Amino acid sequence: MYAIIKTGGKQYTVTNGSTLLVEKIEGPADGTIELTEVLMIQDESGLRVGTPMLAGVKVIASIVEQTKGKKINGFTFKPKKSVSRRYGHRQQLTRIRISSIEV
């Protein structure tokens, strides 16, 4: 059984026991969350696709850790103007483990 969920503006394929890294979801480590934006599910009864979401289907996941992504360094430069700017960014991420897919 697998499902396609939407979180953080991205779509992920998940199965029971899978671990994935998503954009930050509020909650403590070892907490549980409920993902209700399920786009598609494949189970023993067949394939079901939502329009756009499936009603009554949810994915239960546990938060493994709150972490940060790789640092991105940026540089802006305008020639002949003596203007330059450096900046950096680290995306806040959450590692989750899928516990179950409930229909």
pLDDT of amino acid 7: 95
pTM of the shown model: 0.83
Asked if the peptide bond before residue 79 counts as cis, ω within 30 degrees of 0, the response is no
Return the structure tokens found at 90.
């680290």
Alpha-carbon distance of 48 to 42, in angstroms, equals 6
Answer yes or no: is pLDDT of 103 > 90.
Answer: no
Asked if the peptide bond before residue 52 counts as cis, ω within 30 degrees of 0, the response is yes
Alpha-carbon distance of 99 to 103, in angstroms, equals 13
pLDDT of amino acid 10: 96
Q: What is the pLDDT of residues 46-95, one digit of tens each?
A: 999 999 999 999 999 999 999 999 999 999 999 999 999 999 999 999 99
What's the number of domains the chain is made of? 1
Alpha-carbon distance of 5 to 13, in angstroms, equals 7
Domain that holds residue 48: 2-102
CB atoms within 10 A of CB 38: 23
Q: What is the pLDDT of residues 13-43, one digit of tens each?
A: 999 999 999 999 999 989 999 999 999 999 9
